[in-house]
Amino acid sequence: MKWSEVIMVRLAGRYAKEPVSTLRELINDLAIDVGHEAIRVFRREKLDSDICIVLFHDEIKTNPGGSTLGLRVVAALREFSQVYHTVWLEAEN
C-alpha cells in the first residue's frame, strides 16, 4: 500500500523570511542519510511563511506515526516553529 506524510510548518519570528531553498537543502540532507527521493516542497499561495512538505512512500507502511525521514524532518523543523505532521494511506478501490 502506498502512503504519504504531510508535514506543515508556519515559519515565524526571525525564521519567517527563511527561503524555501534553505528548507529544501535541510530536507535533502536528511533524505540522503536514509536514501529517500520522493519529496515535494510547497509554499502556500499568498503566504510564503507556510510550507508543506510531502514525502511519498511506495513500500508497505511499517512505522506507526511516520517514517524515519519524516520524524527527522519534523524534529529539525520544530526549531523553527510548530509543526503539523500527518500520515496518509492511499485509498483502495
Q: The domain containing residue 15 runs over which residues?
A: 3-89
44 or 16: whose pLDDT is higher?
Answer: 44
Q: Which one is predicted more confidently, 27 or 19? A: 27
Number of domains in the chain: 1
User: Which is more confident, 75 or 16?
Assistant: 75
pLDDT higher at 90 or 11: 90
Q: What is the pLDDT of residue 26?
A: 73
**CA angle at residue 78 from 60 to 61, to 5 degrees?**
5
| CATH label of the domain that carries residue 69 | 3.30.70.100
DSSP string, the chain: --EEEEEEEE--GGGTT--HHHHHHHHHHHHHHHT---EEEEEETTEEEEEEEEEEE-SPP-STT--HHHHHHHHHHTTTS-EEEEEEEPPP-
- Name the more confident of 70 and 18: 70
